[in-house]
Amino acid sequence: MTVVFDSNIWISALRFGGIPMAALSSAFVHHTIASCDEIESEVVRALNAKFGWDSANAAKIMNGYLDGSLRVQITGSLQDVCRDANDDMVLECALVAGAAHIVSGDKDLLSLKSYSGISILTAREYLDQFGKAPSLP
């Protein structure tokens, strides 16, 4: 199963941990995380601008979670779907990747509930439905 994490989940996970990090960690172990340059750039930019993270270090940490992920290219051709135009890139990434789910904390995305058969879940909903404890050796 392929899942796309919205930038706000990435930022919350990397900065604060908690439920977003648990969802990200579960997906890293049990599912395929899909991403695109646009989401990754937004995460790095926000971690730098809002929290003073070094951009190179932020990218390195994020790339650790993207090891083995599905990276896709989007064109920006998907427009005017979400009431916040900046969120259309997340929908397009999920479409191109063939994702089953988008995990987001963004009210504009969550209000859609689904798009083209892709469910849009909070981190808590993702964990409740699909979260698994990491396997022990």
Distance of CA 65 to the CA centre of its chain: 11
Task: Give yes or no for residue 79 having a pLDDT over 90.
Answer: no
Task: Write down the pTM of the prediction.
Answer: 0.91
**Confidence at residue 82, expressed as pLDDT on a 0 to 100 scale:** 65
Domains present along the chain, CATH in parentheses: 2-130 (3.40.50.1010)
Between 34 and 83, the higher pLDDT residue: 34
Report percent pLDDT > 70 for the chain. Answer: 93
Task: Give yes or no for residue 2 having a pLDDT over 60.
Answer: yes
Task: Give yes or no for residue 78 having a pLDDT over 90.
Answer: no
Are 92 and 78 in contact, with CB atoms under 8 Å apart?
yes
- Which is it for strands 32-36 and 2-5: parallel, antiparallel or unpaired? parallel
Task: Give yes or no for residue 81 having a pLDDT over 90.
Answer: no
What band does 87 get if pLDDT is binned at 50, 70 and 90? confident
Please give the biggest Cα pair distance in the chain: 47
